[in-house]
Amino acid sequence: MDKIILEIPSDKRECEALEYRKDFKDVNSSLAGDSGLGDSENYKEWVRQKQDWSKELNLPDGFVPATTYFVIREVDDRIVGMIDLRHHLNDYLKDRWMGHIGYAVRPGERRKGYATEMLRLALKEYKKRGIYSVIVGCDEDNIGSKKIILKCGGKLVDRSEYGGKMHLGFEIELGDIKRKT
């Protein structure tokens, strides 16, 4: 796997971000973890919204502040994924074990280790912010996400039904972040 970095969305990535979104639509894949990019009609407005929300400005009722990142592969400067880091959880997110982190990997880049490294980078960001325990959730039938969460130190703390599907809630203690070897 090539090295990846986290980058705040900006206007300079518009064409590539729209191509990223199209890749999901082309294979009828959900854009979960895209922080609304899939539903946005105007990319520049979406970027401004993400900037506002990371500063706790103009949040809709029931939303929490979050910082959204594109995940960039350094070797070719390509978006390989997105990750959304919620600054804290509200009751809605806690009750459904939706957690602190939402992420997605571009369909053609899956199964290459990017999601695991994305989660590790996200956990480091939380630690920098003084948050030492995060909640991460996934659907029970999402074997890939479950393996990634466990590999990054996740401990299963809940299994519950939401929206007709079984959902798993994991806690990751950040003192136990596994180091990349």
What is the 3-state composition of the chain as percent helix, strand, coil, each rounded to the nearest 5?
Answer: 35, 30, 35
Has residue 106 been placed in a domain? Answer: yes
How many folded domains does the chain comprise?
Answer: 1
Has residue 77 been placed in a domain? Answer: yes
Alpha helix locations (H) across the chain?
Answer: 14-26, 43-54, 91-95, 114-128, 143-151
Q: What is the pLDDT of residue 72?
A: 98
pLDDT (tens digit per residue) in 138-150: 999 999 999 999 9
> The CATH number of the domain where 107 resides is what?
3.40.630.30
Range of the domain at 24: 4-176
* Pick from 24, 21, 3: nearest CA to 13: 21
Has residue 181 been placed in a domain? Answer: no
pTM: 0.90
Has residue 157 been placed in a domain? Answer: yes
Token pair in block for residue 49: 């919204």
8-state DSSP, 180: P
Has residue 88 been placed in a domain? Answer: yes
Has residue 167 been placed in a domain? Answer: yes
pLDDT (tens digit per residue) in 28-75: 887 777 788 988 999 999 999 999 999 999 999 999 999 999 999 999
